[in-house]
Amino acid sequence: MTAGSFRASVERMFNRAAALVDLPPGLEEKIRVCNSTYTVRFGVRLRGAIHTFVGYRSVHSEHMEPVKGGIRYALSVNQDEVEALAALMTYKCALVEVPFGGSKGGLCIDPREWDVDELERITRRFTYELSRRSLISPSQNVPAPDMGTGEREMAWMADAYKRLHPEDINAKACVTGKPRAGGGIAGRVEATGRGLQYALREFFRHPEALKRAGLSGDLSGKRIVVQGLGNVGFHVAHFLQTEDDCEIVTVIERDGAVSAKGGLDIAALREHIRETGGVRGFPGAEFRENGLEALEDECDVLIPAAIESVIHADNAGRIRAKLILEAANGPITAEANALLRDRGTVVIPDLYANAGGVTVSYFEWVKNLSQIRMGRLEKRHEEARNHLLVKELQRLSADAGFEWTLSDNFKSAYLRGADEIELVRSGLDDTMREAYTQMQTVWFEDDRVDDLRTAAYVVAVRRIAKVYESLGL
Ligand code: NAD
């Protein structure tokens, strides 16, 4: 591990918090270390030649099983990165009370270089290699999508696993983030972006926290800069624009940044990226070739949603956002984190902010194990009880001599039983609110804790320590 690497950064952040928690001798080291990392090199015959691919699956902590974490497809994937991301998963799951240990995987590949059939063959072969070592399994290790992967890859992995384990009735639960038709859950694709929206909404419910960030009021009209308009960046930007009246003033992508006073139309911009491959040329917007410069734009909230370490010691001093919502994993290095803290910039940390994905993955895993859609048993029963209540109230009011009618809006909102998507969003909202409260309590009440990230780690480390203690370690 090199000083200044992503993993070193995560460890520094962990060490800072662990020093504030009273742990039995040796437990800090046990929690910090990555238990194992498997490296695999496998060949696939494509385009008339055998191509060798390098993949990783790292297991950071098995204090709870299965372990959980995404699979990333990118040329930049390496052992250090996978181990850092696996460690983050351990702390993230503990913080949001998802009963999993931490894991992460990756394949060194640029998915844009291969066509769909080729990607499918590569993914199925990678799944076979993982399965041989129980690194994909409903009870031991459950991958999910990450950068460069999505529903399609998860469906291939689930199918490949099922073929290898036809007797396993829980086979579908071997990965999450699957399409609905393949055993997925409503709201998984949007989950990380949705969780980020709920996290920001929760932050804005606390005037003292807002004051610390130099912000006030509600989300309406807040100017937001987003880096990376992929799955996570698109959903959070789209929800904040369409449901909270925020202005997404700048979007930074690989080819540069586009800005517009009053905000960019995020749905249209995503379509433009799909058609042209980048943000350049988006109608009505100003384009800058050096996208990274836009991270330094004056705004209320900066949302890095692309890759790690984009805010580092060299540019941290020039960041003018009041609040940074970490959508990507590890977008701020440990050095930059300290500089930002000293300048009073508030950071809502990755292990909390982007936990929506793993939270809804947990719901999907539970759904797969229970073999039933969420709400299927209760929905009509709930509706019937609501109708009964309203009928009785109407009868009582008629008996008392006054006419009482319900508006159509109320009826459609109240009388209807909840669908799976509503239950998922409700569970996610609750998770984000609860975890924020835990974090903020530590942030406000412990004088030694000077930022939300340290508070998040303190909550997570305390919880993990309790599990280890209960195991007798
Ligand atoms: P994605 O592949 O869907 O999107 C990434 C986007 O970032 C793409 O639009 C890409 O063009 C852009 N990008 C890549 N490099 C860039 C650069 N140097 N500058 C500007 N833009 C760049 O990936 P995603 O699933 O949205 O993941 C994004 C981040 O969120 C990652 O750090 C990932 O680990 C994290 N995350 C994802 C999930 C999830 O559920 N997908 C959950 C938690 C955290």
Q: Give the Å distance between the CA of 353 and the centre of ligand 1.
A: 14
pLDDT of residue 403: 78
- pLDDT tens sequence across 19-59: 999 999 899 999 999 999 999 999 999 999 999 999 999 99
Q: Decide: 302 and 280 in contact? Cβ < 8 Å.
A: no
Q: Which residue has the tokens 């459950």?
A: 142
Is the minimum distance from the CB of 195 to ligand 1 under 6 angstroms? Answer: no
Q: How far apart are CA 38 and CA 350, in angstroms?
A: 25
Q: How far apart are CA 191 and CA 401, in angstroms?
A: 49
Q: Decide: 458 and 95 in contact? Cβ < 8 Å.
A: no
Q: What is the DSSP letter of 167?
A: T
Q: Give the Å distance between the CA of 339 and the centre of ligand 1.
A: 24
Structure tokens of 351? 């292990």
- Residue numbers of the chain with a pLDDT score lower than 50: none
Atom of ligand 1 nearest to the CA of 357: 40
Query: What residues are labeled active site?
Result: 104
- The DSSP secondary structure of 365-387, one letter per residue, reads HHHHHHTS-TTTTTHHHHHHHHH
pLDDT of residue 393: 87
Q: Give the Å distance between the CA of 304 and the centre of ligand 1.
A: 9
Beta-carbon contacts of 113 under 8 Å, excluding residues fewer than 6 positions away, are: none
Q: Which residue has the tokens 């959903």?
A: 235
| Mutation test residue for ligand 1: of 6, 72, 307, the one with most atoms within 8 Å of CB | 307
Q: Measuring CA to CA, how many Å separate 300 from each of 82, 363, 438, 469?
A: 32, 33, 24, 42
Q: Decide: 80 and 109 in contact? Cβ < 8 Å.
A: no
Give percent helix, percent strand, percent coil of the chain, each to the nearest 5.
Answer: 50, 15, 35
User: Phi, psi (5° rounding) for residue 133?
Assistant: -115, 20
Structure tokens of 435? 């975890």
Other C-beta atoms closer than 10 Å to the C-beta of 41 total: 10
Is the minimum distance from the CB of 329 to ligand 1 under 6 angstroms? Answer: yes
User: Phi, psi (5° rounding) for residue 153?
Assistant: -65, -40
Beta-carbon contacts of 110 under 8 Å, excluding residues fewer than 6 positions away, are: 73, 74, 75
pLDDT of residue 150: 96
Q: How far apart are CA 38 and CA 58, in angstroms?
A: 6
Q: How far apart are CA 95 and CA 438, in angstroms?
A: 9
First vs last C-alpha separation in the chain: 27
Is the minimum distance from the CB of 254 to ligand 1 under 6 angstroms? Answer: yes
Residue bearing the CA closest to ligand 1, atom 5:
230
Beta strands in 206-360 (DSSP E): 223-227, 247-253, 256-259, 286-288, 301-304, 323-325, 346-348
pLDDT of residue 402: 82
Is the minimum distance from the CB of 330 to ligand 1 under 6 angstroms? Answer: no
Atom of ligand 1 nearest to the CA of 233: 26
pTM value? 0.95
If we measure between CA atoms, which residue out of 34, 134, 123 comes closest to residue 72? 123
Strand partners, 49: 46
Position 127, amino acid: T
Rounded (5°) CA angle 138-144-150? 135
Residue bearing the CA closest to ligand 1, atom 33:
328
pLDDT of residue 394: 85
Q: How far apart are CA 303 and CA 422, in angstroms?
A: 26
Residue bearing the CA closest to ligand 1, atom 31:
328
